[in-house]
Amino acid sequence: MRFLTPTGNKRLNELIGFLCFAVAVLIACALLSYSPRDAAFNVSAKGEASANWIGPVGAYSADGIFQLLGFPAFLLPLAALWMSIKWFRSQAVGAPKITLAGFLMLLVFLPAFLTLVPFPDVRGAVPAGGMVGNLLAGALLSGFNKAGALIVASARYASSEERASMLIVLPASIFAFATVESASVMSRVAATAGDLDLPDTSA
């Protein structure tokens, strides 16, 4: 787990921390500005400018990540941000193998949990748990039925050492995502109203 352990060179650690921070910002911006109408792996939009803040690369990346994980995709920029802080401070990660295993399990079981409970789709186009959530939820349902599947999926989530921070940060990320979507909808409504030829009622 060398990538979780900073070196003895403080300058090098700061450089790697900066790179992790840049990756976190790029992924977060791509996810927050995701639009199902942008050209992506399963969408053809030739000649149309990408609405994603990071451009076509961001549109393709956001589409791929959301299709795979759904809303838990926001855990990826959070993990990159956490790594950047560790490297900036030259702090080694305690029990790196356990930490990595716990994070990977969270990436798997949280999508399944969002698939099993009523949860809105990402931009109304992508399942909340993505393909990972659909696959694991299907496997859990076949073996445990709905109640048992929910218990198994939520037990792993609740037993995570990072549960306190995730319970705060993940809803905050989804709220930010919803805020951006609301602003986008309002701008489209305003643009549509401006194009309408409304009758003059001042007379």
Identify whether 147 is part of a domain: yes
Report pTM: 0.73
Report the pLDDT value the prediction gives residue 73, as an integer from 0 to 100: 95
Handedness of CA 28, 26, 109, 139 (dihedral sign): positive
Identify whether 185 is part of a domain: no
Identify whether 35 is part of a domain: yes
Q: How many domains does the chain have?
A: 1
DSSP single-letter state for residue 40: B
Identify whether 143 is part of a domain: yes
Identify whether 48 is part of a domain: yes
* Dist. CA 120–CA 91, nearest whole Å: 38
Predicted confidence band of residue 165 (pLDDT cuts 50, 70, 90):
very low
Report the pLDDT value the prediction gives residue 30, as an integer from 0 to 100: 95
Report the pLDDT value the prediction gives residue 180, as an integer from 0 to 100: 47
* Dist. CA 71–CA 4, nearest whole Å: 25
- Per residue in 42-60, pLDDT tens? 766 665 778 889 999 999 9
pLDDT at 161 > cutoff 50: no
DSSP single-letter state for residue 39: -
- Per residue in 136-158, pLDDT tens? 988 888 888 777 777 766 665 55
* Dist. CA 203–CA 198, nearest whole Å: 14
Identify whether 202 is part of a domain: no
Mean pLDDT within 186-198: 54
Q: Which stretches within the chain are classed as H helix?
A: 10-32, 55-69, 75-88, 96-116, 130-158, 163-195
Identify whether 201 is part of a domain: no
Query: Which structural domain range is residue 84 located in?
Result: 2-167
* Dist. CA 187–CA 160, nearest whole Å: 40
Nearest to 109 by CA among 165, 68, 163, 152: 152
